[in-house]
């Protein structure tokens, strides 16, 4: 079973931190334009210097796709 831990720092209220299985550290950042999710691997207890990958979701793109009302 996966182990998730989370943290939110009062000094960084635009982001949320999640650690998964002590193997990955995710940073979820809310921007004026949408969301950014950075994936940071953890090796030997140390987080990498840079994210392995970053994923962005823009509010405008989601709005333009929309979901049709049923």
Over the stretch 23-44, which tens digit does the pLDDT of each residue have? Answer: 999 999 999 999 999 999 999 9
> For the chain, how many structural domains are there in total?
1
Can you give the residue range of the structural domain that contains 48? 4-63
Nearest to 21 by CA among 1, 49, 46: 1
- Tell me how far apart the alpha carbons of residues 19 and 58 are, in angstroms, rounded to a whole number: 24
Q: Is the pLDDT of residue 46 over 90?
A: yes
From first CA to last CA, the distance across the chain in angstroms is 37
Confidence (pTM): 0.83
Is residue 22 in a domain? yes
- Tell me how far apart the alpha carbons of residues 66 and 29 are, in angstroms, rounded to a whole number: 22
At 59, is the secondary structure helix, strand, or coil?
Answer: helix
Is residue 68 in a domain? no
């Amino acid at each position: 079973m996966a182990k998730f831990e989370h943290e939110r720092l009062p000094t960084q209220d635009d982001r949320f931190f999640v650690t998964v299985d002590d193997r990955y550290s995710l940073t979820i950042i809310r921007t004026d334009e949408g969301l950014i999710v950075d994936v940071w691997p953890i090796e030997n207890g140390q987080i990498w210097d840079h994210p392995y990958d970053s994923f962005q979701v823009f509010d405008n793109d989601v709005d333009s796709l929309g979901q049709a009302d049923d």
